């Protein structure tokens, strides 16, 4: 009997050791599984660290206070968000003339960047060529369309935002004369002009819109001269879509304001909130700005590339609905509640399809005939 009890105790002890061993093995396996999961998570989180992004500016430069600068801010935000380093994971090349585009693009290809962005329609021809020559590199063009399986086209509904600032201008003008200064005529700038004129005329068809082009996106002196003529002729609000040329428009408005502080004249900025450009003493001549969130679009395309979903061969279109087109209300003194309310009403009409902002001269003509 005693022998049987000893055997039973031995059996129970052995069973306990067996279960403990099994439990230890299960825990070890669990630890191995957790380690594998952690490795996978680290790998996923580290994908951005293995991705290199560069952009090539047009001749407006990276600090043009317009879409070059907005694009670079988007890349910088992506880099900082992922703890990356400029010059290692992201960088830019400044172009001072058209001849710089292809060398800048090919330098980044040589340095094995995964995604190279060309900023502005001026780069279309060279970026198309680069995409065809280097099919293993991804490219993206801002503000125009390229046709290659390894290239994405980033475009915007600028006519929508231009329509809304046109509404604001029509609500604000005291002279019933407003102006538009374009950089160079192109299908892109047609969207700015057409949308703006439509917005103005939708509020008051009798408002005169003076349209002039500087034939350059990098000629502040020409922008200043055009603005001076417009203001001298009674225009009190100018919307510019002219890149660096628009700096001259702001300078002229500030000169006029400084000489006659009581005169109400304004500039409408473009691409980013240009409120700071209008500051002069206790005044600010920036009524509002048509904000094109190039930074949002650029980050979107970068993240798709990081995730292995680069939209090669696609045309991406960003507008009000995508929160990529809006207008600024930073100048609270000038953008009064009635103006903001009117802008919001027209924005709702665009979103629900009641109004379609014209994007071409032909569409504008048809739109005006319907008023």
Say if residue 145 is in the same domain as residue 162.
no
Whether residue 132 is contained in a domain is answered as yes
Rounded to a whole number of angstroms, the distance between the first and last alpha carbons of the chain is: 110
Report whether 51 contacts 305 (CB < 8 A).
Answer: yes
Report yes or no on 10 lying in a domain.
no
Q: Which residues of 48-57 are buried (b: 16+ CB within 10 A; e: fewer)?
A: beebbbbbbb
121: domain range? Answer: 51-156
Q: Which domain-ending residue is among 156, 187, 213? A: 156
- Asked whether residue 133 is assigned to any structural domain, the reply reads yes
Same domain, 282 and 165: yes
Are residues 109 and 166 both part of a single domain? Answer: no
The mean pLDDT of the chain is 89
Residue 7 has pLDDT above 70, yes or no: no
Residue 324 lies in a domain: no
**Same domain (yes/no): 178, 283:** yes
Residues whose CB falls within 8 Å of the CB of residue 242, separated by 6 or more in sequence, listed in order: 181, 182, 183, 214, 216, 217, 223, 249, 270
Same domain flag for 272 and 347: yes
Burial (CB count <10 Å: 0-12, 13-18, 19+), residue 262 = exposed
Whole-angstrom distance, CA of residue 73 vs CA of residue 292: 13
Q: Are 167 and 135 members of one domain?
A: no
Q: How far is CA 204 from CA 172, 179, 268, 349, in A?
A: 11, 15, 18, 17
Residues 210 and 287 in one domain: yes
Residues 92 and 194 in one domain: no
User: Which of 2-16, 56-70, 195-209 is the least confident region?
Assistant: 2-16
What pLDDT score was predicted for residue 65? 73
CA distances from 124 to 65, 117, 127, 235, 294 (A): 21, 11, 5, 35, 17
Buried b (16+ CB within 10 A) or exposed e, 21-43: eeeeeeeeeeeeeeeeeeeeeee
pLDDT tens, residue by residue, 36-61: 333 332 334 448 999 999 999 998 78
128: in domain: yes
Asked if 145 and 231 sit in the same domain, the reply is no
Q: For residue range 260-301, what is the model confidence (pLDDT) as tens digits? A: 999 999 999 998 899 999 999 999 999 999 999 999 999 999
> 347 and 207, same structural domain?
yes
Please count the other Cβ atoms lying within 10 Å of the Cβ belonging to residue 284: 21
What domain count does the chain have?
2
- Is there a domain that residue 32 lies in? no
**What's the confidence (pLDDT) of residue 103?**
98
Among all chains, which residue has been given the structure tokens 């569409």? 363
State what percent of residues in the chain have pLDDT above 90.
Answer: 82
- For the stretch 114-154, pLDDT in tens is 999 999 999 999 999 999 999 999 999 999 999 999 999 99
| 151 and 162 co-located in one domain | no
Residues 93 and 138 in one domain: yes
The CATH number given to whatever domain includes residue 259 is 3.40.50.2300
């Amino acid at each position: 009997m005693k022998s049987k009890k000893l055997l039973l105790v031995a059996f129970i002890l052995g069973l306990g050791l067996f279960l403990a061993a099994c439990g230890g093995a299960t825990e070890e396996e669990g630890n191995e599984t957790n380690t594998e999961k952690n490795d996978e998570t680290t790998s996923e989180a580290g994908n951005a660290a293995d991705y290199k992004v560069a952009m090539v500016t047009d001749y407006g430069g990276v600090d043009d206070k317009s879409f070059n600068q907005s694009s670079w801010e988007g890349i910088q935000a992506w880099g900082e968000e992922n703890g990356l380093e400029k010059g290692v994971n992201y960088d830019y090349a400044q172009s001072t003339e058209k001849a710089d585009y292809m060398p800048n693009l090919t330098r980044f290809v040589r340095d094995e960047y995964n995604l190279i962005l060309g900023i502005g329609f001026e780069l279309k021809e060279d970026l198309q060529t680069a995409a065809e020559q280097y099919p293993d590199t991804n490219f993206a063009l801002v503000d125009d369309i390229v046709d290659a399986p390894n290239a994405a086209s980033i475009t915007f509904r600028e006519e929508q935002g231009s329509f809304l600032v046109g509404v604001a201008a029509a609500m604000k003008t005291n002279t019933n004369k407003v102006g538009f200064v374009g950089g160079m005529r192109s299908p892109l700038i047609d969207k700015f002009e057409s949308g703006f004129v439509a917005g103005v005329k939708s509020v008051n068809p009798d408002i005169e819109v003076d349209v002039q082009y500087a034939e350059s996106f990098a000629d502040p002196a020409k922008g200043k001269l055009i603005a001076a003529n417009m203001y001298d002729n009674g225009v009190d609000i100018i919307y510019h879509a002219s890149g660096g040329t628009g700096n001259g428009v702001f300078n002229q408005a500030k000169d006029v304001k400084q000489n006659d502080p009581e005169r109400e004249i304004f500039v409408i900025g473009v691409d980013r909130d240009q409120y700071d450009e209008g500051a002069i003493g206790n005044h600010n001549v920036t009524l509002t700005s048509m904000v094109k969130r190039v930074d949002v679009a650029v980050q979107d395309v970068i993240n798709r590339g990081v995730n292995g979903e680069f939209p090669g061969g696609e045309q991406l279109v960003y507008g009000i609905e995508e929160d990529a087109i809006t207008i600024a209300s930073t100048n609270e003194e000038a953008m009064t509640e009635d103006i903001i309310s009117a802008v919001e009403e027209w924005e709702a009409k665009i979103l629900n399809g009641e109004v379609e902002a014209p994007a071409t001269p032909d569409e504008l003509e048809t739109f005006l005939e319907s008023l």
